[in-house]
Amino acid sequence: MHNILGLVSRAREALLPALVEISPVDCRTFYQVDDLFQLLDRSIRFSDRVIIQEPERWVGATPHGLRTGTNVFGDGYAAPMMSTAKSETRMKSVASFACNRATLLPNTGAVITRDNKLIESTVENAHYFGGVEFVEPYLSRNGEGLLSSYQRDLKELDVDAIASFGVGSSNYGHFIFDGLQAAYIIYNILSTRSNVHIATQTLNSWQREFFSILGLEKRVVEIDRPTRFRSILGTTLASMHISYTTRFCRPLFDVLRANVAYREGSPKRLYVQRPPGSTRAMRNQEDVEDLLKSQGFLLVRPELFDVRQQIGLFSNAQIVVAQTGAALANIGFCPPGCQVVEIMPECYFDQWIRSTCYFLGHDWKVIFCKVPEASRYGLKAGGKEHPHADFDFSVDMAELRRALDAAKECLVPQRNQ
């Protein structure tokens, strides 16, 4: 009997095409419904549906503007930020979609519809890696288009699933911001009417702990191969949300913080260290750390703590100082009004902490640091050179003192309230 089943299986595989052409599609072109519940309504004759919640927009994301000596310090020059005269930052567009009989790819969270369309928003940030074909083994380039080769490894699950990951979800910040936040919100809306699950990549220990704290560990479906679901639900926040944060970042952090016991003795001043051997090396790190320790800062490497400990560590912080990087995602666990001092090398411009502070009610400050041209190195990804991905830089100590003084001054009215 087993031999017969094996022959049938091999015969079926032989009939499947080795490669199938796929083309990109914007989910916002799908049939539009009125609310999230209709995304799971299979009586609607359209298989691919979307509800558009918010368009992309720009907001004033720095309460005091970009004023030197108020929230901008240092002699570096981040041209894209300083050129935004109205102190605006971009917010991601938000649209939720559902596709019947769609396939989820395990390395990128790419969603392919049953008529072989790749939903662009699910892999929007793949260009940082040279293109989606360089990070998803089941996709390859075919001129201007793509070919998929997942059919013969396909697994089928007769469940509705919310996609909760994207390209780069192994990174702490991307895991929290890109996918998980929207998946959590959608789950809590739809689970009242549907036995919906949350689809993830194979999880590591700290990712699994996030789902445990949220009470969702029993609803998670981990995939390690291309998987076709009865229906896949996703959002345009699955990628690039960390770069263009929206107000959807706040509910997840609030629930995580509420589900972990408050620690009365947690430190009020934190300096977030980068792991040894990291790219973007700070040359005078020892001087920076000596100054911060003299002012009562606790030096921490968050990756050495489990998730509950990280939440507790940041839950009472009044001032957090850190270099631009994923570990700054932990400011979501700080109480509103926290002073966030970001050390930003001038050639590593990023606005996600600035806009995240806006939505969390924190006061953001930045120290731009000069980066000598000779110290800027390129990294290769997807066969392409990415300039200025690695470099050395130094922090101007006088500017760091000025930024710390400004942060401490901002705390005084809070203590008197």
pLDDT for residue 416: 46
- Token pair 């016991």: residue: 261
Nearest to 147 by CA among 156, 135, 139, 157: 139
Domain segments of the chain as ranges? 22-56+92-253, 62-89+261-416
pLDDT > 70 in the chain, percent:
90
Of 353 and 277, the one with more pLDDT: 353
Q: What is the DSSP letter of 34?
A: S
How confident is the model over 55-96, as pLDDT tens digits? 999 888 777 778 888 899 998 887 777 766 667 888 999 999
Mean pLDDT of the chain: 88
Q: How confident is the model at residue 34 (pLDDT cuts 50, 70, 90)?
A: very high
Residue 104: pLDDT above 70?
yes
Examine the pLDDT at 51 and tell me if it is beyond 90: yes
Q: Which ranges constitute the DSSP H helices of 119-244?
A: 172-175, 181-190, 205-213
- Whole-model pTM: value is 0.89
Q: What is the rounded CA–CA span in Å between residue 101 and residue 157?
A: 9
Task: Provide mean pLDDT across the span 303-329.
Answer: 94
Helix (H) or strand (E) holding 234: strand 227-235
Residue 197's pLDDT band (cuts 50, 70, 90): very high
Query: Which of 85-89, 143-147, 162-166 is predicted most confidently?
Result: 162-166
Helices 307-314, 205-213: axis angle to 10 degrees equals 60
Residue 386 has a pLDDT of 61
Lookup result for tokens 């789950």:
187
- Residue 68 is classified by DSSP as B
Give the tens place of pLDDT for each residue, 369-407.
Answer: 998 877 777 666 665 666 556 788 999 999 999 999 999
**Residue 333 backbone dihedrals phi, psi, to 5 degrees:** -95, -5
CATH number 3.40.50 is the correct assignment for the domain at 62-89+261-416: yes
Count the Cβ atoms, other than its own, within 10 Å of residue 259: 13
For residue 5, the model assigns a pLDDT of 41
CB 199 within 8 A of CB 240: no
Name which residue leads in pLDDT, 265 or 54: 54
Q: Which of 248, 232, 241 is nearest to 360 (CA)?
A: 248
Report in angstroms the alpha-carbon separations of 104 from 67, 227, 240, 331, 391. Answer: 46, 5, 18, 31, 36
Rounded to whole angstroms, how far apart are CA atoms 363 and 47? 45
pLDDT of 350: 81
Confidence of residue 414 (pLDDT cuts 50, 70, 90): low
Tell me the mean pLDDT in the region 291-319. Answer: 95
> What SS3 class is residue 339?
strand
**Nearest CA to 40 among 119, 113, 103, 97?**
97
217-241: per-residue pLDDT in tens? 999 999 999 999 999 999 999 999 9
> Does 343 have pLDDT greater than 60?
yes
- Total Cβ atoms within 10 A of residue 95: 21
Q: Determine the pLDDT at residue 288.
A: 97
